[in-house]
Structure 1
Amino acid sequence: MRAEKLCEVSRRGGSNTDADLTFTLTDTGRVRATEFLSRSAYAGPAPVTVQNYCAQIDAQSVAHMHVLREDIGREFEGIVVSPQVLDRFGAAMNSSRAIFIHGPAGSGKTFLAECLAGLLKGDIWVPYAILVDGEVVQVYDPAVHHQAVNEVANASLLDKRDAPDPRWVRCKRPAVLTGGELTLDMLELQFDPGTRYYQAPPHLKANNGIFIIDDLGRQRCSPTELMNRWIVPLDRRMDHLALHTGHKFMVPFDVIVVFSCNVAPDQLGDGAFLRRLGYKIEISAQTEQEYERIFRQACERYGVPYSHDAFQYLLRERHGKEGKPLLACYPRDLVSQVRDLARYEGRPAELNRQALDWAWANYFTER
């Protein structure tokens, strides 16, 4: 830099050693710095090439992760869900294909989808950024990527060396959850004209992990538009992205995509899309035995003593006569209101017919 007259020595320390030399930019150096900052203001670990990124994603693919029956049992311990549904979840997680969870609102689809994230195994390497055609795309996101325990990693980085490559950070497999806020534009690179670099879209940040799209159909784009965006990535496991310069490139789509929706899949997409959904799992209403277990759990959670007579009254006089299905969300919502009323009145909570009628009227807006 001194030879190119980009910097100069401005002050020399008392010891006259190289360690005490202080450099400042020359006018030429400032012009060069301004030129580089106008191209990109990214500051951080050096980005890796998109080719190295693709190779590393392939080396730690979710396809290499195996979920066993005991993993399912451990993750869903204490959760009331039928064994048949758990078996389907276990097989689906081993397929690395898309999962479509459907059923009525309040059946517990979102909760179960989030539990699937707990089945992710192993640590992965995530780059801080990648370099594409001279442009920087920031990938690492502390809100998504949680660093693994700080220890010497024996996982396989492509660049073998004694110490881990500082351009990569060792993380747990990511889990990204999006809902009604999702738009088609969010699935593309986000260019910041101020900093002149890109933020990766959520499914790129979710690579080697799980990407949950909750409440499919409530997005600002239609389900058909959203599904059309996923047809090629779900089939070929690759996605096409474009820079603002027009340069297009491919990145791996190594993600277990989980769709959660209140309607059946055949009401949302055509055959071409439905074929790309590896597993279509229905979460229906609970049986009476399952519903009672959930109700007992809700009573324990909110400190309301359980009453078998009151519960039978709820089944017979409310659910039975009014035709309300036994959905997993009702016990929590009804029992919490019983608790709220007792707190307001300054008395111990009691599960009885009057309290349940009061909570039911509030919940289902009865007059």
Structure 2
Amino acid sequence: RHQSARSAALFADNIPPAVYDSLVQTVRSNLGEMHRYMELRKKILGLDELHMYDIYVPLAEDVKWVIPFPEAVAMLKNGVAVMGDSYVEILSRGLDSRWVDLYERKGKTGGAYCDSIYGVHPFLLLNYQDNLDSAFTLAHEMGHALHFYFSSQEQPFIYSHPAIFTAEVASTVHESLLMEHLLQTTSDRERKIYLINYYLEIFRGTLFRQTMFAEFEKIIHEKAENGEALTSHFLKEAYRELNTAYHGEGMVVDAEIDMEWARIPHFYDAFYVYKYATGLSAAVSLVRQILTKGKPAVDGYLSFLKKGGSDYPLNLLQEAGVDMASPQPVQDAINRFSGLLDEMEGLI
């Protein structure tokens, strides 16, 4: 018998509740950086009051950046070049060998997905649209594809499919490598602001927002497990208090936000959203090591990809150089977020 709904949800991946708590505590202790971003956004947009809807306004005006698919492929290859020639060759082979259903067409489902057939190869469904979002989506899905490719090559069928906890790390490593490459090679000021804004929003939406969601889930489940009623008033108040804490005094939390929790479908799959935050944190930590330590970190990461689902996620990540049982990977991610804020402040 599990002690709580949370321990039951974490059981399959063998994740100690302490890892969940460490994520929340580390983000909580660094909320000043999130507040700093809100104040910076308010300043750049020239607003007297910042509301939730103002978060989604771009900070770089009229950036026209058309990225045809061949250019996106070249950008991605340059971004992952640090992984070695063999890695880039496999990526190129996949793109040249009809792994990807690339463009929109009538009757085709929207979105982007990757799956793999053991003994064949990964398959990607994209709806490419010649923009930066699509370039990063390509990077993300090819991250999954290379993970599936290596794990299928090295593991028996039963261990070839990685857990969601680790699968999202591989896809986000690709995105982060591409982003770091673009930030290093882009000289145009407006494009650089656009890229930094794009990356800041990834951190806001994936690290801070998903951790806020994770904290909300913990609060409401604990209340229910204590035999207390989950009233509409309690749910709205709890959600409002979290939004105020996470966004700071620079944000006006409108009354309508009190009900936002009701439209989040992930809350019906209890204790899922924390994996987005841990996945980004692990990926940022791995990319930092790959870019600073070179071959030893690359070899560790490739070993991680090849191990697929052959061990529990925390063990696989620890062998690759990321200890998710410690607060350090989350702190690494927050430190990168802080560095991006510094860069943005220097450009405006």
TM-score range relative to shorter protein = under 0.3
Q: Which has the higher contact order (CA 8 A, sep 6+)?
A: 2
TM-score by length of 2: 0.24
TM-score by length of 1: 0.23
In our comparison, the structure showing a higher alpha carbon Rg is 1
